[in-house]
Amino acid sequence: MMLELIHKFLNLVAPPFTFFSLLFLWPPFEVYKFFISILGSVFAEDVAGKVVIITGASSGIGEHLAYEYAKRGARLVLAARRKVSLQEVANRAVELGSPDAIAIQADVSNLDDCRRIVDQTISRFGCLDHLVNNAGMATFSLFEDVEDVTSLRSVMDINFWGSVYMTHLAAPHLRRNNGRIVVISSSAGWLSSPRMSLYNASKAAMSQFFETLRIELGPDIKITLVTPGFIESELTQGKHLNKAGRQEVSTDMRDVQVNIIPVGKVDACAKAIVNSACRGERYLTEPAWFKVTRWWKEFFPEVVEYTNLLLYMSSPGSPPQEALGKKILDSTGCQKIIYPETIINDQGPKTN
């Protein structure tokens, strides 16, 4: 009886208390955060000589993060599955200013490979300062069309478990140096685009996992959680797992999924991420305007759902290319305006 009264009391009091708290506390708290951001800019971390692991570094955001850290003099450990492309990135990083950059061919969905990345890092450099969990894979398929749902396990294995493995192995070394974890999650964690259900779920899982680690790791290891919108990368070139669980590249499906949303430049995104990490920021959404999609999702979920339905979904039995957003792109040719030139003219992701 007493417990029921407590819940009735909280049901009555919690909403107005929260409303007035937001009304009176939110403005000064925003001023406080602005002040802290100014201090972070003035006293930004100098990563020259520091050791940084970047997963998924052979292309896209990971590749350009390597270049951005290299320009600031960081020593780099670059990991990805494609050996030749990865070595090219490492060589370029050294040209840009990294004192030492090593390439380790590895699959982060494999725990032994993750252990090898961390072990080789410590063996070579003796310490670790930043871990960038960037490796990822996307799917473009309606859930009911998937032929064998187990064939898509790699999405969760790479996106979520790869980050878990790397973090678990790296945490003791990061703690010794009061290091930082940079998590490349995605706005897909809240903005549920159709045909990407498992990808969206993996990114939401990443966000919640690392939000929990903020508390567990405390002040010893800081976390910067990055939630990009669409950025020029292999995903925005159309690389994905199809309904059969096979990897393919399709610019048609790229246009269906990216739709009429402007795509951000990868070099600007990488610079913003490293700046944010060095300033000690907790969160970053890039491009910055994409944060408004979270507000719309929170306050007007029905509107967001209807908009996604309208732009992304074709009528039953019709191919996905019949989606309204894709038709708008085809009829107006506005890809030339809202997509970077690289993802329109490029022949596709690196395959070596």
Q: Is there a contact between 54 and 79 (Cβ–Cβ < 8 Å)?
A: yes
CA distance 282 to 288: 14
CA angle 266, 272, 277 (to 5 degrees): 125
Residue 46's CB is within 10 A of a number of other CB atoms, namely 11
The answer to whether the peptide bond before residue 262 is cis (omega within 30 degrees of 0) is no
Matching residue, tokens 């989606």:
323
User: Residue 205 has which token pair?
Assistant: 């899982």
Residue 199 annotated as catalytic: yes
Which H or E element spans position 83? helix 83-96
The answer to whether the peptide bond before residue 287 is cis (omega within 30 degrees of 0) is yes
CA angle 44, 47, 50 (to 5 degrees): 145
Catalytic member of 67, 199, 312, 339 = 199
Q: Which residues are catalytic?
A: 199
